[in-house]
Amino acid sequence: MKFKKLHKNQYIMDLELLNLTNASGCVVCNQKFNLGDSVVLACGGWADNCAKLIHEHEAVFDTGTDSFIEKRYYYATR
């Protein structure tokens, strides 16, 4: 069985990470994270200009910067 190698900013939600982040949840879709969710540390158009954990399907991987960017922000700035 082959497993996909994760990027340095890509995580599988475990219990420790869930306890740290589930109070705020995903800032893009406003839903709580679940155990086993694939999440990424992504940049976006947030007021505090820092990267946040969001669901992987809400992000785009930019090969130019080697980082994940929130999907709507990425397409708005391109």
Distance CA 70, CA 66 (A): 13
Say if residues 51 and 34 touch (Cβ distance below 8 Å): no
Q: 76, 69, 50, 77: which is closest to 7 by C-alpha?
A: 69
pLDDT digits (tens, 9 = 90+) for 16-73: 999 988 888 899 999 999 999 999 999 998 888 888 999 999 999 999 989 999 999 9
Beta bridge partners of 6: none
Residue environment code for 62-74, b if the CB has 16+ CB neighbours within 10 A, otherwise e: eeeeebbbbbebb
pTM for this prediction:
0.85
Which pLDDT value is given to residue 70? Answer: 94
Task: Provide the pairing of β-strand 38-43 with 67-70.
Answer: parallel
